[in-house]
A and B are shown apart, each in its own frame.
Chain A
Amino acid sequence: MKTLFRKNLVLSFLLALLLVSGAVSTVLAAPVITASLNTDKLPLNQAGQLTVIITSKEGKLKMPEVKGLRFNLFSKKVKSSSIISNISGNKKNISTSFIFRVAAEEEGKYTIPPIRLITTDKNYASTPVTFEVVAPVKAAKNTGNIGGTTIQLPSIQLPGMPFSQGIIGQSAPQQVKSGKTMQESDIAFFTIKTKQNIYEGENVPVEIKLCLNPEIHFLDLSMPRIAAEDLSIPPLDGKGVKEDNEEINGKIWHTLTWQTTLSGIKPGKHQLDITGQVTVRMPATSKASSGQQQRSHRDIFNASPEEILAEMMSHSIFDNPFADSFTPMVRKDLTPKKSVTFTVEALPEKGRPVNFTGAVGSFNLKTSVSRDKVEAGDPLTLSVEVSGKGNFKSVTMPKLADNQSIKTYPPTEKFISVGLNAGKKTFDQGIIIKNSSVTELPAVSFNYFDPEKKTYVTKSTPPIPLTVIGAGYTPQPVPQKNTTDQAAAAVSTDHPLPLKFDLGSTTTDLRPMPRRPWFIFSCIVALLAALAAFTFRHIHTSQRTARRSVQKQLTSRLAGDLASVDKAQQAGDGHLFLNTCRVAIQNRLAGRCGVHASAVSSSNLREILPEDSVLLEVFQMAENAAYGGEVPTDFEMDQLYPMIRKALEDIK
């Protein structure tokens, strides 16, 4: 029983161990995608090496975009190895390494976000990579690997091409081993993609590609020259060049691509030669098949101890640093060439339309008019649009069919390019319909040779219906207004209107009205008069309004004062009666006296009121009463009040 228990225990332990080891191996298995940078401190003027390794998976690598950082794919390597799996036995493991050159635009701390691998079933991501870009270090003379960490990216500019870092720039060759013979085609070569059998006048697109080995340090690069007889091709320039990294025959190349067009001028076989000129720097022992050699300054005697140490550390232990790194560097001028022979065939005579102008390609035709209802003699514009692909230089305005009733003028033309060999040419032609017998604009036909169909094509548009109003352009005599009818009748009938025979009033001033002094003077006078009248009226109205307002105030105050007087009378208070009467008289006559109401005295009143005025009498009574004089009785107040009221109300 014990033995059985022990056996079971051992078996259980082994089983558990197996399971645990399986789980651990699964957990500790290498991740699908890893990313690492060869340094954590990158000088600003140098490039780091970012290595992305993808294990056992295939998919699309998606590089993140980081502001201030540039990634250039440098190389791609695929390795396969066998590993022993603890469960399924031998298994083939494939890993793909991508090496990118990383360059920064400014100093600072950067984090490269996870790099993603997109597969059909799942997406994988690497861990973020953090590093710091530090102040630039002084460039070493040899432009080689410094300390095995960073690689300087010198730049080369094509004449007329914008600055581009790292397209050609490269460190000392890593794969160019000393003693290995290199052909010129291993460094730089041209490819030309085009159609080689063409027709005379046919425009064909041409793609010219200059492929440069990214492992070579290019010092200079001139614009490729094109030589071709009886072929028309514009010279290459730096404006339209496209720069890329492409895999050609299993190797990554830096490519410069020009898209242009070519056309054959004369029938026959014509050769197109493209010649470039590049200057490279490479170890002297790497023998290129052509080019001149110059000794470089770089050798062991010129290198600093740090550089020597750096060179030694940058190579693997299996390399011989003294046999490799300190090999003298040389400067070589190479001239990659490419020739293509074009067969230019003459356009066939058979079926050639009479009014064929040499247009070769594939075109569409469209017409329109500015208006479809016109008066005889009025102009209208016929627009003819030819669009498509081909040699637009030979596309001319199609001729309208002869018609005595339609007068045409030379057209204007406008070309809009919509691609390398495509575009739209628009012709605007002025037209006069002379009389109402015209009911439509005739059809427009355009002929061209289609190189695909190898035949002439005629495109036509339908006639455009027109409504022409009026008797026509023919001159019509106008009734003579004045004398000398015979003379007028003798005037050429080519002209619709006769002479004028009344001289009329003359003037020496031909200026338009706004420039004539009398017009300007009249406008100014009218404006000033209107302004003066308006201002005068406005002031007058304001004064009247003010007077009315004062009058209203006085009337209102008088009513209040009379009410107080009435109240004092009702109360039978003689003192109050006289006092309120005095205030009412002062308020009413202050304006006429020209003093403040409270300052109006009996002497002021005597100047403006008659001597027998009841107001003067009452005012005097009030002054006397203030100094102990008599006050009116009720009866006297009854008598006085209506008289005072009337006298105050009568004052204007």
Chain B
Amino acid sequence: MNKNILIGIILFTSIVFQAFLSSAATLFDEANTNVIAGNYSRAIEQYNQLIEEQGSSPALLYNLARAFEENGQRGLAILNYSRAESLAPGDAEIISALDRIRKANGLFEEEAQSWQHRFTSLLNLNHWSELLLGALLCYTALQLLLLLRSVDKKVVVIISTLCALVTAVSTTAIALQWQTMDAMIVVSDSAKLRLSPIKGSDVVRGIREGRKVVPLKQHGDFCYVEDSSGTKGWVEKKAVVAVDGR
């Protein structure tokens, strides 16, 4: 009797879950069709609804970015491409799309000047994090193995050295890229860097929509940011959105 009830619960749950997934997939397809048909606003609404209900996925964010791009909202397009890239760092399509939209809008990233920056730019933050975790797990596994059986000393030394090296390098790279974790994208086409966090204060210069900035501090409705060229200024909070969705 109990067994039958358990089977029933499992079946019911799986049916509900399948239906839920199916409805999500349907909504996703519908939104894609709207993009193709040119109904970008409707597609954006549907993608956002999906994100609220299901969360984000690289594909969802990518398509949302495409819809924004088609709709002429390049700031939001770059924001969602960047988010998609953070979820799927190795996705060539996402990287290519982000690169293309930046170039098309004249948003060139400043070339890394120092060798440290060049080196850390070889991989993105998630890749360095994966390397760090991998090295730590490898070293742990080695230590546990040594508890169980003896291993050739040379092998132990080589593996330990490699793990230490990878840990040191990836930790340094993460530390150097730490600030970029807070990166924000300018989503307003009339955003300006101001001298003070006051409306109407002197403008340092305009900042292009889609430009990546790093927040340094906040005050009221303003955020003190630095762009890739090193220019700093206060920008309205509503004009920038954090890539990590904070």
Contacts and interface: CB of A to CB of B under 8 A. Distances in A.
A533 B29 contact: no
Q: Is the interface of B mostly helix, strand, loop or mixed?
A: helix
Contacts of A379: 103, 108
B120 interface: no
Q: Chain A: interface secondary structure?
A: loop
Contact of B24 (A409, A432, A500, A503): A503
Nearest to B129: A513
A537 interface: yes
B103 A503 contact: no
A141 to B, nearest CB: 52
A135 interface: no
Interface string B138-156: 0110011011000000000
B36 A491 contact: yes
B83 interface: yes
B136 interface: yes
Interface in A600-624: none
A29 interface: no
A163 interface: no
Given A526-B137, A537-B143, A504 B59 contact: yes
B66 A495 contact: yes
Interface in A451-504: 475, 478, 484, 487-488, 490-492, 495-497, 499-504
B76 to A, nearest CB: 14
B87 A430 contact: no
B202 interface: no
B143 A511 contact: no
A511 B59 contact: no
Contacts of A510: 56, 83, 86-87, 243-245
B69 interface: yes
A509 B36 CA distance: 28
Contacts of A432: 103
Interface stretch (B1-9, B92-100, B216-224): B92-100
A512 B244 contact: yes
Interface string B227-246: 00000000000000001111
Given A506-B57, A513-B129, A527-B136, A497 B93 contact: yes
Contacts of B178: 514
A515 B183 CA distance: 13
Contacts of B144: 529, 533
Interface residues of A, number: 46
A409 B35 CA distance: 30
A378 B104 CA distance: 10
A487 B33 CA distance: 7
Given A491-B36, A492-B70, A504-B58, A537 B129 contact: no
B55 A409 contact: no
B62 to A, nearest CB: 5
A507 B69 contact: no
Interface string B24-54: 1100110011011000000000000010001
B106 to A, nearest CB: 5
A377 interface: yes
B73 interface: no
Nearest to B180: A512
Interface residues of B, number: 53
A606 to B, nearest CB: 42
Contacts of B86: 510, 512
B66 A533 contact: no
A399 B62 CA distance: 38
Contacts of A507: 55-57, 87
A506 B36 contact: no
Interface string A503-543: 11111111111110001001100110110011011000000
Contacts of A536: 147
Interface string B92-120: 01001100100100101001000000000
A533 B133 contact: no
Contact of A511 (B25, B130, B244): B244
Interface in B60-93: 60, 62-63, 66, 69-70, 83, 86-87, 93
B129 to A, nearest CB: 4
Nearest to A488: B36
A505 B83 CA distance: 15
A246 to B, nearest CB: 44
A409 B106 contact: yes
Interface in A34-93: none
22 contacts: A478-B93, A484-B29, A496-B96, A497-B96, A499-B66, A500-B58, A500-B59, A503-B25, A503-B60, A504-B59, A506-B55, A506-B60, A508-B56, A510-B83, A511-B181, A511-B246, A512-B125, A512-B126, A523-B133, A526-B133, A533-B143, A537-B146
Interface of A: 370, 377-379, 409, 430, 432, 475, 478, 484, 487-488, 490-492, 495-497, 499-515, 519, 522-523, 526-527, 529-530, 533-534, 536-537
Given A492-B70, A510-B243, 10 more contacts: A499-B63, A502-B59, A503-B59, A503-B60, A504-B57, A511-B181, A512-B129, A514-B178, A523-B136, A527-B136
